Chains A and B, each alone.
Chain A
Amino acid sequence: DAGITQSPRHKVTETGTPVTLRCHQTENHRYMYWYRQDPGHGLRLIHYSYGVKDTDKGEVSDGYSVSRSKTEDFLLTLESATSSQTSVYFCAILLAGSDTQYFGPGTRLTVL
């Protein structure tokens, strides 16, 4: 599992509230990613990071922000959650030298 954990694993929140999801890795990987998975859309990239304090947007970044203040943690924040952000969120790392991503177990977020 490449030492990736996500927290929380499940969360129910209300529209308009802020939400932060955490991805934690134990193996010092440089690249980390946040995706959302929705039926009929597959996985879509939200943001990714290529080092501490270095992040970039993906294809569905509106309404999301990220932070990476240390190598092992990559945080995804929904500043004001909306029902359209109900989804399953996956974190991934890139295994150096292999061009291969490995995924965390996912966080199921429901925004009411």
Chain B
Amino acid sequence: AQSVTQLDSQVPVFEEAPVELRCNYSSSVSVYLFWYVQYPNQGLQLLLKYLSGSTLVKGINGFEAEFNKSQTSFHLRKPSVHISDTAEYFCAHTSGTYKYIFGTGTRLKVLA
């Protein structure tokens, strides 16, 4: 069965510091991966996605993620975070079956 693991439930980081949010997925033949962001009391917004092609994917708000097939990972990174990046981040995976599996989320808290 598909699974997505987000190893860190909470990540505190100081403003302007770099951050990495980790995501590992269960291996499958087809791999489509997504990162979503949820600001307090809001719905989920797509940050970026990997469907095929370049393993480095750039998204909105300066975020990027790298697909690593050998490590079955899709970690999200930002070189310099802002207070406004404080939110919950979800990694998701589908193998093309139209069912999507989400991780349990990582709360990013940016400190002044």
Contacts and interface: CB of A to CB of B under 8 A. Distances in A.
A100 B103 contact: no
Interface residues of A, number: 23
Contact of A105 (B6, B43, B90, B102): B43
Interface residues on B, range: 20 to 34
A104 B104 CA distance: 19
B63 interface: no
Interface string B39-80: 000111110010100000000000000000000000000000
Contact of B90 (A42, A58, A102): A42
A43 B102 contact: yes
Contacts of B98: 31, 48, 50, 94
Most buried by A among B6, B36, B94, B98: B98
A100 B46 contact: yes
A28 B27 CA distance: 32
B25 interface: no
Given A48-B98, A99-B96, A105 B42 contact: yes
A90 B102 contact: no
A90 B92 CA distance: 15
Contacts of A100: 34, 46, 49
Nearest to A1: B43
Please name the 6 residue pairs, one residue from A and one from B, whose CB atoms are nearest each other, closest first: A43-B102, A42-B104, A103-B44, A42-B102, A103-B43, A105-B43
18 contacts: A40-B104, A41-B104, A42-B90, A42-B103, A48-B98, A50-B98, A90-B43, A99-B49, A99-B51, A99-B94, A100-B49, A101-B46, A103-B36, A103-B43, A103-B45, A105-B43, A106-B42, A106-B43
